[in-house]
């Protein structure tokens, strides 16, 4: 029965995307899920963004997750993968795609011409090579290119310093914990997630619930997610001239 239920998780999303494409609805809300359980059913699954990419025929490197909570909006350039694999995938193009998706998602939330802050890969964004030169050839080249394309972006700056600013509308985190920890620290389990880049309005709760299923302990996370989706606007096309 559990295998059937976990396969159904994926089938529900596929059916919902079909309804969006038919014009029956214009957004999807995903309930709590469990990556391990879905994989145990024989379906490769590392979270909703990669699933939505596959189901819509979108390259996975163009679909990203943004978490919303605690007054922060943080999109993740990489997500559920071992850290050395995530870091090995980083390129200026991936950072640019993440910034484009971040800007589009912020505009869908009603923030016109958002200012985006890009976290550094290394502490202090490398501090001129003292703590690594990765930012010099990965994150740093992406920001000026996007400025030329009409986006307002700053960085790379160390995540600890960037997060202390109150003039940034949204942030691009490099890997999972860099963005998830501040959100979960401030918002706990009350932070909905948005998947952007696939042309489908999709939001899900920012946590699983396998440990409390059937115990009448669920929090109103799905209701918060529904309210968030209700505030979304149509997805913006990519900025001309950006990679």
Percent of the chain with pLDDT over 70: 78
Q: pLDDT digit string (tens) for 14-45?
A: 898 888 888 888 788 877 766 776 666 666 66
Which residues have a Cβ under 8 Å from the Cβ of 114 and sit 6 or more positions away? 102, 103, 106, 107, 152, 169, 170
Q: Reply yes or no on whether the pLDDT at 235 is more than 50.
A: no
Structure tokens at 201: 């309005």
Q: What is the pLDDT of residue 242?
A: 35
How far apart, in Å, are the Cα atoms of 183 and each of 150, 162, 206, 207, 220? 28, 14, 10, 12, 17
Contact yes or no for 98/62 (Cβ under 8 A): no
**Superfamily of structural domain 2-230:** Isopropylmalate Dehydrogenase (3.40.718.10)
At 141, phi and psi to the nearest 5?
Answer: -65, -25
Q: What is the pLDDT of residue 214?
A: 65
Q: pLDDT digit string (tens) for 148-196?
A: 989 999 999 999 999 999 999 999 999 999 999 999 999 887 788 888 8
Q: pLDDT digit string (tens) for 199-230?
A: 888 887 765 555 666 676 655 566 666 666 66
Distance CA 75, CA 242 (A): 18
| 202-204 β-sheet, strand order | 28-30, 202-204, 193-196, 64-69, 72-76, 170-173, 115-119, 152-157
Cis geometry, peptide bond prior to residue 156 (ω within 30 degrees of 0):
yes
Tokens 């694999």 appear where? Answer: 85
Confidence of residue 237 (pLDDT cuts 50, 70, 90): very low
């Amino acid at each position: 029965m559990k295998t059937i239920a976990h396969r159904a998780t994926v089938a529900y999303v596929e059916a919902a995307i079909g309804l969006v494409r038919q014009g029956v609805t214009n957004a999807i809300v995903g309930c709590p899920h469990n990556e391990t359980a879905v994989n145990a059913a024989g379906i490769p699954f590392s979270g909703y963004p990669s699933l939505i990419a596959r189901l819509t025929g979108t390259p996975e490197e163009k679909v990203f997750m943004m978490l919303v909570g605690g007054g922060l909006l943080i999109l993740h350039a990489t997500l559920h993968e071992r850290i050395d694999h995530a870091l090995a995938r980083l390129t200026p193009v991936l950072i640019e795609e993440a910034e484009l998706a971040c800007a589009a998602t912020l505009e869908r939330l009603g923030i016109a011409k958002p200012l985006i802050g890009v976290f550094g890969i290394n502490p202090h964004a490398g501090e001129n090579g003292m703590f690594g030169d990765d930012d010099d050839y990965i994150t740093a080249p992406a920001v000026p290119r996007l400025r030329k394309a009409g986006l307002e972006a700053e960085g790379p700056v160390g995540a600890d310093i960037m997060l202390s600013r109150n003039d940034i509308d949204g942030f691009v985190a490099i890997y999972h914990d860099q963005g998830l920890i501040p959100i979960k620290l401030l918002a706990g389990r009350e932070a909905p997630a948005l998947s952007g880049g696939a042309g489908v309005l999709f939001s899900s709760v920012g946590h699983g619930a396998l440990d409390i299923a059937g115990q009448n302990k669920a929090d109103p996370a799905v209701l918060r997610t529904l309210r968030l989706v209700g505030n979304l606007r149509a997805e913006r096309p990519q900025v001309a001239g950006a990679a």
